[in-house]
């Protein structure tokens, strides 16, 4: 590319993943200039990238996209972590209005060629009677089982708007990334705070299968998606393998507290009080897991995540203060003695 390197605009850089994508692209030799945009000041180091503060509720973002002359826009504004203030309503405005502004900016801009939008696996909802690893075709945003509440609803609405843009501007190369739970040493999401609870409430009689993607792999996926123009459409982003929730809790050394399904909403209230925002959909996901089929991503990018789901989770556990479950420690001690006694 040489002198005419890419000009990349990244939104949502006040969040961890957005900031890391920004710095990764800055280091990329194929990129000439990187611009970070968010409605609040960045919490993470952005390196030498330019930062523009723009409120998603006015036309600021669209103007920034047009003026920057960016040829690639990465919309990372949609994230599960709740905003620091304002609650659900503010989050919804941020997600949907923010995305609409970004999309409008891309549509009007004469320079944008590539758009990558971060979405979420929550969009599939959590029905139990569905094929297990689900492909991108499993549910369209306007399918009847369309998620009803919270973050998943925002994501579905954003994806609908992206679909509209794709119809209006077929020349634009668009990729939508439906992320599994991002996890790793430094990520903070509602899920990581859930695993961080002293006693973790689970739904009695259910053990959902969880799937993760390591933060490093997540950043790498977005970077590769930004640089490649060929990969179009919707992609599931998930690490190979899966693990049951009970196994996650064992590995994190967290005692679990099974709660009957009827107490689920009560648990929801409790967890909200501890600073977590769990929508009914997310609570339902504690009953039935969602496993993605990410083979399309591997095929089209010709790349595979460096971490499996289990390795990603272990990386998260290793960096936290979690220890082996007390029960496992005690059991290990007892079996050691038994073995010594029998061996004698």
Alpha helices for 58-149 (secondary structure H): 60-68, 87-92, 98-108
Which of these ranges, 38-46, 52-60, 264-272, 283-291, lies near other proteins under the rule CB under 8 A? 283-291
- Name which position in 289, 307, 312, 316 contacts other proteins (CB under 8 A): 289
Assess 48 for contact with other proteins (CB under 8 A). Answer: no
Q: CB 174 → other proteins: shortest distance, Å?
A: 26
Decide: helix, strand or coil at residue 1: coil
Assess 324 for contact with other proteins (CB under 8 A). Answer: yes
Q: Under 8 Å CB-to-CB from 319, ≥6 apart: which residues? A: 184, 185, 186
Cβ burial 110-124 (10 Å sphere, 16+ → b, else e): eebebbbbbbbbbbb
100 or 203: CB nearest other proteins: 203
Assess 265 for contact with other proteins (CB under 8 A). Answer: no
Decide: helix, strand or coil at residue 17: helix
Assess 148 for contact with other proteins (CB under 8 A). Answer: no
- Give me the torsion for CA of 6, 7, 8, 14, rounded to 10°: 140
50 or 338: CB nearest other proteins: 338
45 or 338: CB nearest other proteins: 338
- 241 exposed, middle or buried (CB, 10 Å; 0-12, 13-18, 19+)? middle
Instruction: Report, in angstroms and rounded to the nearest whole number, the Rg of the chain calculated over CA atoms.
Output: 21
Calpha distance 171→169 (Å, rounded): 5
Which of these ranges, 106-114, 155-163, 178-186, 328-336, lies near other proteins under the rule CB under 8 A? 328-336
Give the DSSP per-residue string, 133-195: EE-TTS--TTSTT---SHHHHHHHHHHHHHHHHHHH-TTSEEEEEEE-EEESTT---HHHHHH
Which of these ranges, 69-77, 86-94, 97-105, 132-140, lies near other proteins under the rule CB under 8 A? 132-140
Site string for other proteins, 205-244 (x = CB under 8 A): xxx-x-x----------------------------xxxxx
Assess 144 for contact with other proteins (CB under 8 A). Answer: no
Which of these ranges, 17-25, 96-104, 128-136, 296-304, lies near other proteins under the rule CB under 8 A? 128-136
Give the DSSP per-residue string, 260-328: -GGGHHHHHHHHHHTT----HHHHHTTTS--EE--HHHHHHHT---SS-HHHHHHHHHHHSS--S-HHH
Which of these ranges, 8-16, 52-60, 127-135, 264-272, lies near other proteins under the rule CB under 8 A? 127-135
Q: CB 335 → other proteins: shortest distance, Å?
A: 4
- Name which position in 34, 106, 155, 248 contacts other proteins (CB under 8 A): 248
Angle between helices 150-168 and 98-108 (to 10 degrees): 10
Which of these ranges, 56-64, 105-113, 199-207, 262-270, lies near other proteins under the rule CB under 8 A? 199-207
Q: CB 206 → other proteins: shortest distance, Å?
A: 6
- Name which position in 261, 296, 301, 311 contacts other proteins (CB under 8 A): 261
The residues binding other proteins (CB under 8 A) are: 128-133, 135, 203-207, 209, 211, 240-244, 246-251, 261, 288-289, 291, 293, 310, 324-325, 327-328, 331-332, 335, 338-339, 342-343
């Amino acid at each position: 590319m040489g002198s005419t390197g890419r000009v990349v605009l990244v939104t949502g850089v006040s969040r961890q993943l957005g900031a890391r994508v920004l710095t990764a692209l800055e280091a990329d030799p194929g990129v000439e200039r990187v611009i970070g945009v968010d409605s609040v000041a960045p919490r993470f180091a952005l390196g030498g990238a330019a930062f523009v503060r723009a409120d998603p509720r006015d036309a600021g973002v669209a103007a920034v996209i047009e003026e920057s002359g960016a040829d690639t826009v990465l919309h990372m504004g949609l994230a599960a972590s709740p905003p620091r203030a304002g609650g659900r309503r503010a989050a919804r405005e941020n997600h949907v209005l923010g995305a609409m502004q970004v999309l409008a900016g891309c549509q009007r801009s004469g320079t944008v060629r590539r758009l990558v939008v971060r979405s979420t696996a929550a969009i599939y909802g959590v029905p139990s009677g569905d094929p297990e690893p689900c492909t991108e075709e499993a549910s369209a945003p306007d399918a009847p089982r369309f998620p009803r509440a919270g973050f998943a609803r925002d994501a579905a609405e954003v994806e609908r708007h992206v679909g509209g843009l794709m119809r209006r501007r077929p020349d634009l190369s668009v990729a939508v990334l439906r992320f599994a739970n991002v996890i790793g040493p430094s990520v903070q999401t509602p899920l990581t705070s859930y695993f961080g609870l002293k006693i973790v409430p689970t739904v009695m009689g259910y053990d959902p299968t969880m799937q993760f993607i390591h933060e490093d792999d997540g950043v790498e996926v977005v970077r590769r998606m930004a640089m490649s123009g060929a990969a179009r459409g919707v992609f599931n982003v998930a690490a190979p393998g899966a693990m049951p929730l009970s196994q996650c809790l064992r590995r994190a050394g967290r005692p679990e507290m099974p709660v009957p399904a009827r107490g689920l909403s009560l648990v929801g209230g409790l967890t909200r009080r501890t600073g977590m925002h769990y929508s009914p959909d997310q609570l339902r996901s504690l009953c039935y897991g969602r496993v993605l089929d990410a083979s399309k991503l591997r095929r089209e990018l010709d790349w595979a995540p460096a971490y499996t789901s289990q390795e990603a989770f272990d990386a998260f556990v290793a960096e936290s203060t979690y220890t082996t479950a007390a029960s496992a420690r005690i059991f290990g001690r007892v079996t050691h003695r038994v073995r010594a006694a029998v061996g004698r």
